[in-house]
């Protein structure tokens, strides 16, 4: 396997581990607004930490954007990169 790719489950596992250690990480995802049915394309997050997962929605990755100091979320299935590595299913 190419060193520049990572499986989605492994990327999420590493995100959680880094968060537990208090170490922010970078990632990107393809945006999607389900209500409006539109996308703003790729969203790059330079520094993030995972938030506790909502019990009502298991398909979302909830995170804190450390740079903007805002709570945000994205669909796990739309993750594109983690620490510069391409994510695959």
**Could you tell me the strand order of the sheet in which 70-75 lies?**
5-7, 85-88, 79-82, 25-30, 42-50, 60-65, 70-75
Using the structure block, give the residue that is written with the tokens 């669909």: 75
Average pLDDT for 43-65:
88
Query: What per-residue confidence (pLDDT) applies to 57?
Result: 67
Query: What per-residue confidence (pLDDT) applies to 58?
Result: 80
pLDDT tens per residue, range 64-74: 999 999 999 99
Residue 1 has pLDDT above 80, yes or no: no
Per-residue CA distances from 88 to 2, 5, 33, 79 (Å) = 11, 7, 22, 9
Average pLDDT for 12-30:
98
Query: What per-residue confidence (pLDDT) applies to 52?
Result: 82
Query: What per-residue confidence (pLDDT) applies to 2?
Result: 60
Residue 19 has pLDDT above 90, yes or no: yes
Query: What per-residue confidence (pLDDT) applies to 40?
Result: 95
């Amino acid at each position: 396997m190419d060193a520049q790719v990572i499986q989605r489950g492994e990327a999420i596992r590493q995100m959680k581990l880094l968060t537990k250690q208090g170490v922010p990480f970078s990632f990107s995802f393809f945006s999607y607004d389900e209500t409006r049915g539109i996308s703003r394309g790729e969203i790059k997050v330079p520094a993030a930490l995972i938030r506790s997962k909502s019990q009502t929605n298991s398909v979302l990755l909830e995170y804190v954007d450390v740079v903007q100091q805002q709570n945000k979320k994205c669909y796990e299935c739309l993750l594109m990169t983690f620490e510069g590595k391409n994510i695959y299913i």
